[in-house]
Structure 1
């Protein structure tokens, strides 16, 4: 029968294909098995010999170095609704304060820009960057724009960032991430922490196959690569570059740090820095806290050490088309662009790992072909079992003992591959996900095959892998509740509340007093009262507003807030309500600073808005050493009233005049344009670690000259009245009273 001959020919061709695929799978399996051996031997060696003489570094050690300025770079194309969540989560999660987030947006993406503007209104350490070219450009191009804005900000704020950190808008960061980078950045030039995808519903194989791959890649493969080759590929998120590394990249690129033609600029940078001889490290740092009751609340099979590492979490694509698009970009960037850019011009060990990076171009097709062949052989076997009259074909591999050995070896290697996958997935996610990773292997093979095929089609279409355009992948961000609340204009609120008319406001803007911001200027001119200014500020922020009498504060409360905290954040302790310490401030305290205050005091805090000058006077009275401009201003007023020089009814009014017209040096600096408000806040973080007074610190940092400082101090003295001068205006007989006091 003709179909019998055709089927026999098909089986012969299949045997040739199976032989080739089996050999390729054997070589790839042995390659992976080598990495397994190195990892487990190294782990055993360290357990037996290293950690017997040297303990693991405890997370408390991360708090020893002073907080260096760190910059977080976030590219954002069509990320509406995501940046706000990230900033909120970072502010409330990170146990760090001296950082700034720079978000790269595009001129033709107004929705994202509007979202970032709302975030910047609430978080002074978040800065919007508008890229020079319309989007979407490559991620590298966006990062170059962000980096340029960071360097401009450094010059304006008179500070140098010591670490430059890559993150995406949908990333969820660990509490100690910046502490870890701060601890290592002076010794290492590229620091990478693990990435662990969030779990989704168990049957969402598309999203969960990322979980399997990253668990093994960042649990075993990258640590072995670092140990043998000293080179660490950046994951694009959770990567920190030292200042030295960033400047070297800028120098190499003639002013451009990131390769704009690369689809995987993070991978490219790891190789460039290695070529420059810079130190790279992959850090799996567990944060293990003492537990009084050793109860296991994690997933079954979860390793306490592995599941406690400082890492980046995010949701990965849950749709097949999206996953294929993302992975095809990775394949083009790592395999094809990587080969064109870096070739094999490295040492033997690093070339070996480059081969492992690039073998996916073959392996993805081989694995998929193996799946198809297994399916065909299973169908033939099923037909022979169901159709008893079907001709019994002699095994197409009969008599080939060498092939039997290959098959047995491949089965053993595949069993080891599954075991390794189960171990590393279970270590972070528990046994349930570890076992489910086995059926997900097949789905992952399909995704990788489709991604490879798409990558090849894109390259053929463009004619050159470096011409393939950037193809952004959308992500989800975990919901954390709350909403982004942009600040309403204070000027509009003053008019709406009836504190001042629109015409009067316009007049005040035209004739603002030099050295004062608009609100202070209107108070000095008598256009509005301190209460009228404080009320819309409190409404704008969403907190309450109240008048504060600094003289009535208890010593117990004052001792609860150390001097450096009170002066740095310009707050006074008022009372304790339900275990929460209530602070008074004259201005907005951003969530980052509020969280930092709570951490430093070791208790929950909230704040209220006080009338202008009340906190300033309180700080000078209780915390500022050597400030004796008025001796005790409140006492002088009371003495004047007791001696009949002024009526007792006038005391509150004069006290309000005195407090509301007090001016801080920082306000004058900002009002006169020596610094913008954001740069001033950044400088205050550095000043908090200095014993110098603010003026001395600013001149020491080169922000202003000594001559400018003297001029500003004279202006400050002329703008804020003393109680003595107010009493002299009230009565001509005050001077004898002052001498008597």
Structure 2
């Protein structure tokens, strides 16, 4: 037996094993996603029978609320001025103030905020004692402490980032729902970027589905609802309860403080509500809109932070919820499957390469490429059906939020998203090992942009 024949046999055997591993993993993940679809469809059918609520149809709140909007800002001089002026002009509510957290070694951002604050008393500049960057949670804690020191009357805290385009009616929506819920999260919809239809564009499909279906299902199951970090309002007394139990409302050692805060609130009995609602019939969804990273490097950095904080460090820090809360266990497991999903995805791509090498090798040196056994053929057929189903749902949800022109990009964007996830997994593993070794977490942010013309 020649060395070429032995090599081809090794390639065939390795390819067969990788294919089986990847196929089984894809099947489990596909069935998991399918169950979410079923729950969403059932919830949708129930809501259709109950009628679709709009903000204008909601009863007036029992108590008018005063809002403190927290905007943490590190190296945001390029966008913070435009964001603050736009927010002040757009928000349709009589009682709010913007608290903007800056660092003493970020003079450009301080000057940009101070310029806006000089012309509008609703903007409060807060400069922390420590040089930046620390963590976003640390900056938010500075804002919380500044609110207490100032004696500002506030009933709820709203979280936003320096690049957010706020919806004019969001505070009225929060006010209408905070009587019944300790916290409210509204959708986040990435703004399309013509210069980056695939990299920046892949966020559009992911968020359209996650904030059009996933969070709706979590709310229906009464599972802990992770915050998106922006577009969420939390009653002050709920944050105070978290502070009393943990020393601060936001955990400065976390790299995904928004995700953890939502689950901590739920565990303390202050469950959040996800509100996907229009202001009036036929109006646009009340949501936060913003630009997401347009380059592969920036997208990898952002997704590595999410993967580190949610699927790796978040698992260590939060563990599991109440023993019999099966819906919450299911959702936390879905949050944490990202690391295994990346391994399965890598095996799948490696198997494709293996099949290509096998076909080429046997064509050149003789022999027949071994085909998959009957069981594997059945699994591959089921996976193909689930993949087409998944692509159909991603396309439909993208069309729902952005129209059919953007929806046509949905399938290729899924492929781009897979490759970004593969690259992010390596960076996340390195960051996680650094955290395990005692390295202090740090704000790993990306450069932001703000639209010149409002959407």
Q: Where on the TM-score scale, by shorter chain, does this alignment land: which range?
A: over 0.9
Whole-angstrom CA distance in 2 between matches of 1:281 and 1:263: 23
Decide whether the 8 Å contact of 1:87 with 1:119 is kept in 2. Answer: yes
Partner of 2:105: 108
Using the TM superposition, name which of 408-417 and 195-204 deviates more. 195-204
Whole-angstrom CA distance in 2 between matches of 1:14 and 1:187: 55
Decide whether the 8 Å contact of 1:335 with 1:358 is kept in 2. Answer: yes
Whole-angstrom CA distance in 2 between matches of 1:280 and 1:81: 33
Equivalent positions of 1:53-92 (< 5 A) are: 56-59=53-56, 61=58, 67-92=64-89
Partner of 1:50: 50
How far is the alpha carbon of 1:169 from its aligned partner?
0.7
Partner of 2:276: 284
1:469 aligned counterpart, secondary structure: coil
Cα 1:63–1:344, aligned 2, differ >3 Å: closer, same or farther?
closer
Partner of 1:196: 189
Q: Which has the larger radius of gyration?
A: 1
Partner of 1:329: 305
Decide whether the 8 Å contact of 1:230 with 1:280 is kept in 2. Answer: no
Partner of 2:158: 165
Decide whether the 8 Å contact of 2:157 with 2:234 is kept in 1. Answer: yes
Whole-angstrom CA distance in 1 between matches of 2:305 and 2:67: 29
- Greater relative CO (CA pairs within 8 A, separation 6+): 2
Partner of 1:269: 261
Q: Unaligned regions of 5+ residues in structure 1, if any?
A: 290-303, 482-741
Whole-angstrom CA distance in 1 between matches of 2:214 and 2:321: 22
How far is the alpha carbon of 1:230 from its aligned partner?
3.6
Whole-angstrom CA distance in 1 between matches of 2:161 and 2:12: 50
Pairs aligned (count): 451
1:366 is aligned to 2:341: no
Q: Equivalent of 2:172, from 179, 199, 205?
A: 179
Decide whether the 8 Å contact of 1:139 with 1:470 is kept in 2. Answer: yes
Whole-angstrom CA distance in 1 between matches of 2:62 and 2:289: 26
Decide whether the 8 Å contact of 2:53 with 2:277 is kept in 1. Answer: no
How far is the alpha carbon of 1:203 from its aligned partner?
5.2
Equivalent positions of 1:116-515 (< 5 A) are: 116-153=113-150, 155=151, 160-201=153-194, 204-254=197-247, 256-288=248-280, 308-346=284-322, 347-378=325-356, 380-381=358-359, 391-397=366-372, 400-464=373-437, 467-480=440-453
Whole-angstrom CA distance in 2 between matches of 1:284 and 1:345: 25
Whole-angstrom CA distance in 2 between matches of 1:381 and 1:215: 39
TM-score (norm 1): 0.59
Cα 1:395–1:31, aligned 2, differ >3 Å: closer, same or farther?
same
How far is the alpha carbon of 1:59 from its aligned partner?
1.9
Decide whether the 8 Å contact of 1:185 with 1:191 is kept in 2. Answer: yes
Equivalent positions of 1:321-720 (< 5 A) are: 321-346=297-322, 347-378=325-356, 380-381=358-359, 391-397=366-372, 400-464=373-437, 467-480=440-453
Q: Can you list the C-alpha shifts for 1:248-287, whole angstroms capped at 9, x where unaligned?
A: 1211123x11100000011111111111111310000112
How far is the alpha carbon of 1:470 from its aligned partner?
2.7
Q: Can you list the C-alpha shifts for 1:648-676, whole angstroms capped at 9, x where unaligned?
A: xxxxxxxxxxxxxxxxxxxxxxxxxxxxx
Whole-angstrom CA distance in 1 between matches of 2:196 and 2:122: 40
Using the TM superposition, name which of 465-474 and 357-366 deviates more. 465-474
Whole-angstrom CA distance in 2 between matches of 1:338 and 1:81: 31
1:122 aligned counterpart, secondary structure: coil
1:129 aligned counterpart, secondary structure: strand
Partner of 1:30: 31
Cα 1:380–1:16, aligned 2, differ >3 Å: closer, same or farther?
closer
Whole-angstrom CA distance in 2 between matches of 1:206 and 1:114: 32
Superposition CA RMSD, Å: 2.1
Cα 1:61–1:343, aligned 2, differ >3 Å: closer, same or farther?
closer
How far is the alpha carbon of 1:395 from its aligned partner?
2.2
Whole-angstrom CA distance in 1 between matches of 2:246 and 2:389: 44
Decide whether the 8 Å contact of 2:135 with 2:253 is kept in 1. Answer: yes
Whole-angstrom CA distance in 1 between matches of 2:436 and 2:80: 36
How far is the alpha carbon of 1:189 from its aligned partner?
1.1
Cα 1:350–1:427, aligned 2, differ >3 Å: closer, same or farther?
same
Partner of 1:534: none
How far is the alpha carbon of 1:188 from its aligned partner?
1.1
Whole-angstrom CA distance in 1 between matches of 2:196 and 2:239: 42
Cα 1:18–1:467, aligned 2, differ >3 Å: closer, same or farther?
farther
